Structure formats: structure tokens, C-alpha cells
Structure 1
Amino acid sequence: MKKSLRRILALFAALFVALAAGMTAAQAATNFGNAPQGAHYAQGSSEPVCTLSGLTVTCTGTQIAGVGNTNATVTLAVTSTFTGVCHNPGVNSKIVEPFTESETTTTSSVITSTKNGRLVVPAQSATGTSTADFLADFTCPNPNWTPEVTGTAISFRYSLTFAGFTQPAILITG
């Protein structure tokens, strides 16, 4: 009895975390202290904006001036987190094992500065893993058990990091 109660509590905790992650608004921060001296958004440009539609995160492009000959790497990682249970087959179809699993899809590219010291950052897009794709590859600890996804959360991390710097100049999470 004690073991099954612990499993149920773990399942509820995982569901709470997934729900809380799904309700979090995107957080954006630009820190040109992590960029070449003089870096700034070009006139008419601003911090990228990331939006989530279904499983796809799309972030707008931008332009950064004053970067000299410094290149940057832009990365967008979309994480799909699945919570669920494994059922023991039979008349009662008992829940025997809760699970929480995450899969991350990442796109990354190096952006080369132009001869005028401008970095033109194109829009970025990445798609998370669907429940059907997750279940196609997931197996419960016992191959006779059947998995059931009871919750899904999508989160993302967009970053732009200049060559020679360890921290991103732009970081957006959601």
C-alpha cells in the first residue's frame, strides 16, 4: 500500500510541474555586456519575440549593429515533457508505474557578421515531439504493460551567444 501511494503522489507531483511549466510566460533578457563593445539593436530592430503554436516555437529575427567581425551562434531548443502511467493488463488494468520523460529538439546555426559590423539574425523555428511520436518509441519497464500519456508540457530556450563569450547576449525562455 505504501509503495502505490508513493507512486500516485509522484504522478501528481509530475502533473503539477507539467501544468506549471505550461502556464509560464516567456521570459526575455538582452544583455549586451555579453557582446562586443558597442553592440546594440539596429534601428528598427528589437529583441526577438518567441511564440508557441501547437508543438512549434517560432522566434522573430532581429539585427544587431556594432558587433565588428564577431560571429554569433543562435540556438532554439524545444522540450516536450510527457507524464503518464503504465497499466498492467488484465481485468482491472491497474496503474503500476508512473513516468515523466522529456525529449528535446534543437536547432542551432552560426550567424556571420557582415562587413559593416552588423549581425542579421533570421527567424528561428523548432517543433517539439508529438504524443504519438513519443509513444511510438516509449516502452514501460515491463514490455507487457501499456503506456498512457496523461499530460504534456512544452518549454523552450532561445539563445544568441557571440563568439568569445560564454554567456548569451539574448536569452528567451518559456
Structure 2
Amino acid sequence: MKLSLRRVLTLFAAILFVLVTGMTAAHAVTNFANAPQGAHYARGAAEPVCTLNGLTVTCTGTQIAGVGNTNATVELAVTSTFTGVCHNPGTNNKVVDPFTESETTTTSSELTSTKNGRLIVPAQSATGTSSEEFLADFSCPNPNWTPEVTGTAISYEYTLTFAGFTEPAIQIAG
């Protein structure tokens, strides 16, 4: 079985990406100034933690006390960014058009506070787009050209925003 240098380099880049993204820590910020006065994590609860496993991001649930009758929206957006090239299938299989495209999958839930002023935030999960799914919908500018994905990156943003506030009280990016 003969491997081309391009395939070896693509495989090496994919392995390196998995290693790098597996070691990247998410950046989390809780700012209860963007929440009803008195809001705080309930006893035994903590800031949500998000993890990336393959294309799926999962964030733990939490509970926030002291919110009164204020509801909130929790949102998790997973963005898959693809880089690649389009090949002209002529005799030289020439690279004719590089591309970078992104697709975002978003889940969102409206949360209602309980009568005791507690907001129960369930775990959130969203899955990004695979290279195969991307290529099924992607077309090069010339229909005779063939697309090839040479790199993929996954990023995400988790936010919890209280009704009546413009900025999130919890924001996690990774």
C-alpha cells in the first residue's frame, strides 16, 4: 500500500489536532453582576464544566439560587471550521481554490425559576458537523473540481443569560 506524502501529512495534522484540542482548557467566566441581585450558585452546585469528545460538547448542569422570579436562556453553540482545497482533475490535479468554511450547531433552552427563586440548569449537549457531512453539502466554484478537507477545528460557546439582562451571567468558551 503506497501512501502519498499529502495523505501522510493530512493524517499527521489530524492526529496533532486531536492531541492539541484534547489538551485545551475551556475559559469559563461567571459574572453574577449580569443576574438578579442575590444570585449565587446553590449549595453543592458549581460553575458548569464543558468537555469536548470528538465532535460532541457536553456541559454539566448546575443550580443557581436567589434569582427570584427571573427566567433565563441557556445556549450551547458548537462551530466546526473546515479548511481545504478544490482540485482541478486535469493531468496535474492542480489545487485551484483554497477555502475556509464554518458551520454552527446551536441548542437553546428557556429555563423557568422555581417558586423558591432557584434556577435548575440541566446539562447541555451539542454535536458539531463531521467532514463527511460538510463535504456532502459543499461544492467547489466549478462543478468539475473536487473538494478536499485538509483541516478541521471545533470550538464552542456556552452562555446563560437572565431575562432582562443583555450580557450572560455564565460564559464558557473552548
CA distance in 1, matches of 2:44, 2:133: 41
The reply on whether 1:137 has 2:167 as its aligned counterpart is no
What is the aligned partner in structure 2 of residue 160 from structure 1?
160
- Matches of 1:115 and 1:91 in 2, distance apart? 71
Deviation at 1:90, TM superposition (A): 1.8
Tell me what 2:54 maps to. 54
Match of 2:83 in 1: 83
Q: Post-superposition shift, 1:92?
A: 1.1
Match of 2:143, SS state, is: coil
Structure 2 CA distance for aligned equivalents of residues 95 and 134 of structure 1: 19
Alpha-carbon distance in 2 for matches of 1:138, 1:61: 35
How is 1:60-75 mapped onto 2 (pairs within 5 angstroms)?
Answer: 60-75=60-75
| Structure-1-length-normalised TM-score | 0.87
In the alignment, residue 29 of structure 2 is paired with which amino acid? A
Secondary structure of 2:135's counterpart equals helix
Q: Which residue of 2 aligns with 1:36?
A: 36
1:102 aligns with 2:102: yes
Q: Partner letter of residue 143 of structure 1?
A: P
Provide the C-alpha distance between the structure 1 equivalents of 2:25 and 2:97, rounded to a whole number of angstroms. Answer: 31
> Identity of paired residues, percent?
81
Residue by residue, what CA displacement relative to the aligned partner does 1:127-174 show, whole Å, maximum 9, x if unpaired?
000100000000001111000000000000000000000000000000
| Cα RMSD, aligned residues only | 1.4
Which residue identity does 1:169 align to in structure 2? A
Question: Unpaired segments of 5 or more residues in structure 2?
Answer: 1-12
Give, in angstroms, the shift of residue 38 of structure 1: 0.2
Mapped partners of 1:30, 1:136: distance in 2: 39
- Cα separation, 2, equivalents of 1:24 and 1:60: 18
In structure 1, how many angstroms separate the alpha carbons of the residues matched to 2:117 and 2:126? 28
TM-superposed CA distance for 1:25, in Å, is 2.4
Amino acid in the other structure paired with 1:151: G
Residues 53-75 of structure 1 show CA distances to partners (whole Å, capped at 9, x for unaligned) of 00000000000000000000000
Note the C-alpha offset of 1:24: 4.3
Unaligned runs of 5+ in 1: 1-14
Q: Output the TM-score relative to the length of structure 2.
A: 0.87
